[in-house]
Chains A and B, each alone.
Chain A
Amino acid sequence: MSDPSYEIVIGLEVHVQLQTATKLFCRCSTRFGAPPNTQTCPVCIGLPGSLPVMNRQAFALALKTAVALNCQIPGFTKWDRKQYYYPDLPKGYQISQFDLPMSQHGYLEINDAKGAFAPKRVGILRAHLEEDAGKSMHDELAGKADSRIDLNRTGTPLLEIVSQPDMRSPQEARAYLTELKLLLTYLGVSDCNMQEGSLRVDANINLHVATSQGTVATPIVEVKNMNSFRAVERAMAFEATRQFDVWKDTRIALGAPGGHKTTRGWDEQAQMTRPQRQKEESSDYRYFPDPDLAPVIVTDQQLDAVRADLGELPAALRTRLQTEWGIDAYDADVIVNQGRAFVDYFLALANISGDAKRASNWMQQDVLRVLNERALTIDLFPVSSTSLAQLLKTVQQGELDTSRARDVFNAMAESGDSMPQAMQSLGIQAVHGDELADLCRELLEANPSVVADVQAGKDKAIGALIGQAKRRNPNANPNQVRQLCLELIREQGSAQE
């Protein structure tokens, strides 16, 4: 990616819809997908004389998130009116926060388990609570030039989380978003559904170019309209290359004539950014305190209560899986990134089976495969952790080889049967040690030439017996057959001496 002659500088602005039943300043439902304009009231459509009242739950969720993002929480916060005209903004202003946001100066740690970049702390400039606007739809019927406005979304609570320009590559930007989303999911403050607009990302990006006169910053570009984290990563990579090309062409630096900030939109189809029309006088929002809303005071006791109630967050869980369960960093990352329910399943499985490494492998390979194939979440997975633990124990004791165990697992996942049921329906029987030893003795007696070869130092000769063992008892574990036969031959050898 990186051309050594420049450094990429990225800051991200994320809008997260908080998971409340009702809107931020009125008691209309926030349910997604309702028929247009059926979830509005005088407050959210801005009728004269209506008064907003802050949603207690929305503030609580915002506070919880801000604390989890290591933000400083001032004791006093207020809301302001951000004035602009747009058809989806019925009041003519958005209630947002300007100079006294509810939180600022936090950070989020990002890491790549495969080491694609060094672990780093991305600064959070601020996180503030504001209301969403409505939705404009462009009429596709020919000859109709109108836009249609649906105000159901108007007034939905959003937390705007603004990062510092601390990311230095498209991968870091994506990692930040992935970690932020994971954190929000663990906190249970948002469903983070990008398709439904519950999580939206805008990016600011420019380059620091090394020149003979020192480092020069290129004009900042705000990129919008990215509908997935992958799109963000690609848009950032595209923009970096494009900005460097423009720089080589024009040598226009940030702040120089023609070097002002511009806005571009990501075109997913074409995999490129395109210039967007600038909003007229867009920077003059004439903020002032909203006289309809009372400020909010947060006490230290409240903050302590929020902290105590945060639960175990992803970063701490990754560490715990490594230290308490002996799982390596990469595996801990995969498990924790699947969400809290997946971690809980793993912990139960590791606990009951007593074999965390095997539990980790099975969760990542087999459980995840089934979940992905069937688009299931772990809470709908048909095999209980107790059942799967029983299967892992059987494998651990050598009574079932891994490939047979996998067949049993698939049958269990398919039917929801317990392990004994699944084995019975597949005609698979666990082979106990005595049974297997008898089988091996018979084989050695019937194949003196193999015994002779092994005694002559050719351990590989055992291979011939494994096929025979499988034919006589399909449930025989090949590794165990090999092991047992070698042991028996050695015993014979030492007895003869």
Chain B
Amino acid sequence: MSLTRQQIVKVSLLARLRLRDDELDRMTDQLDQVVSYMDLLAEVDTEDVEPMAHAVEQTNVFAEDRELPSLDREAALSNSPKRDEQCYRVPAVLGD
């Protein structure tokens, strides 16, 4: 399988990345190499292997439903590029 430039345009839109023409070329080339590597892996015979849902053989990891302190609001908002006293601020969201 090889990736087309068209697919890279779509993926960059989904990832909200604005790529210049030369960047699109470079990404098409690089991502194509990644996907080609998957093609190599796909050659392994997995006929009798059950699909794996997780890399670690661990299940049923739970925490009890007991409240712990939350972040102080100032701390929570401190990394925000734009904020007011109470909230994060973002460019207007239309529709909702």
Contacts and interface: CB of A to CB of B under 8 A. Distances in A.
Contacts of A29: 67, 70
Query: Which range contains the number of B residues in contact with the other chain?
Result: 35 or more
By CB atoms of chain A within 10 A, which of B65, B84, B93, B94 has the most? B65
Interface in A142-178: 145-151
Nearest to A289: B53
B90 interface: yes
B20 interface: no
By CB atoms of chain A within 10 A, which of B14, B68, B87, B93 has the most? B87
Interface stretch (B22-30, B32-40, B41-49, B56-64): B56-64
A240 B16 CA distance: 37
A294 B88 contact: no
Contact of B92 (A42, A146, A286): A146
B53 A100 contact: yes
Contacts of B55: 291
B6 interface: no
Interface in A35-80: 35-42, 45, 53-59, 76, 78
A37 B59 contact: no
Contact of B70 (A41, A57, A148, A276): A41
A78 to B, nearest CB: 4
A57 B88 CA distance: 30
Nearest to B92: A145
Contact of A41 (B54, B62, B71): B71
A286 B65 CA distance: 31
A136 to B, nearest CB: 5
A294 B63 CA distance: 12
B53 A78 contact: yes
A373 interface: no
A45 to B, nearest CB: 6
A147 B14 contact: no
Nearest to A42: B71
B71 A40 contact: yes
Contacts of B53: 76, 78, 100, 289, 295
Nearest to B87: A148
Contacts of B82: 146
A319 interface: no
Given A148-B89, A281-B13, A54 B61 contact: yes
Contact of A146 (B16, B71, B77, B89): B89
Given A21-B66, A87-B93, A37 B73 contact: yes
B18 interface: no
A37 B79 CA distance: 13
A456 interface: no
Given A37-B77, A37-B88, A289-B54, A54 B94 contact: no
Contact of B87 (A36, A41, A58, A293): A36
A35 B86 CA distance: 8
Given A137-B87, A277-B94, A40 B76 contact: yes
B65 A20 contact: yes
Given A22-B66, A54-B62, A148 B86 contact: yes
A167 to B, nearest CB: 27
Contact of B60 (A150, A151, A296): A296
A219 to B, nearest CB: 20
B87 A55 contact: no
Interface of A: 20-22, 27-29, 35-42, 45, 53-59, 76, 78, 83, 85-88, 100, 136-138, 145-151, 276-277, 280-281, 284, 286, 289, 291, 293-297
Interface of B: 10, 13-14, 16, 53-56, 58-68, 70-71, 73, 76-77, 82, 84, 86-96
